[in-house]
Amino acid sequence: MISGDDPRTADTQVSMISAAGAQGSTAVADIRHADTQISGFSPVGRQTVPPGTGRQAVRFGRETMIAGILLGRAPHTLSSQHARAWATGLLQTRLLPWKEIEEDGWHTTSDLLIQQYALFPDHGWILLGGVVRATRPPAATDAYMLTWAEEALGLADPPAWLPGPEHDGTWYAALPDKKP
């Protein structure tokens, strides 16, 4: 084992384990708990999470209902094209091309069709992940759509919902002592 001066307090421990194979055993480094840079490799940068992200958000358009988890916000000064580029960079995964939904929103899926994402304006640009989409019924009320979102997101304990800053059909799960 390679470690600091005292293995019990070292930030990094690298264990050598044997992987038995047909031709004998091979030493393999187990660095799952390493928290330092290994020579020749760049350290993984720690991403900061913008305030308010990680909570549920719902968007009701004329034709579509969208629910997901808030992943990020971008300034309203970005054009639609720049907002999509920002979102793609933030997600750091391979995506299918963005498709327009309604007049101001965008939707994409990871290239393995596992995750869905939505991007739309609400006092800037809002990026949602883990997206669930459905057609909006013609006479749906806010209460109906919020109940749909709670069920679609699988929320056992429904949050208090707050309208977005522009209150144009965007709602956010309330955070303790914070506004959306």
Reduce the DSSP state of residue 87 to 3 states and report it: helix
Look at the block and give the residue holding tokens 């070292």: 10
Q: Is residue 38 part of a domain?
A: no
For residue range 101-129, what is the model confidence (pLDDT) as tens digits?
887 899 999 878 788 999 998 888 999 99
In this structure, which long-range contacts are made by residues 100-106, counting pairs with CB atoms below 8 Å and at least 24 apart in sequence?
101/61, 101/64, 101/66, 101/133, 102/61, 102/62, 102/63, 102/64, 104/80, 105/59, 105/61, 105/64, 105/66, 106/80
Q: Is residue 162 part of a domain?
A: yes
Q: Is residue 91 part of a domain?
A: yes
The larger pLDDT score, comparing residue 39 to residue 120, is at: 120
pLDDT (0 to 100) of residue 67: 94
Q: Is residue 179 part of a domain?
A: no
For residue range 61-89, what is the model confidence (pLDDT) as tens digits?
888 999 999 999 999 899 999 999 999 99
Q: Is residue 36 part of a domain?
A: no
Residues of the chain with pLDDT > 70, as a percent, come to: 67
Domain that residue 163 falls in: 56-173
Q: Is residue 75 part of a domain?
A: yes
Tell me, yes or no, if the pTM score tops 0.85: no
Q: Is residue 168 part of a domain?
A: yes
Domain count, the chain: 1
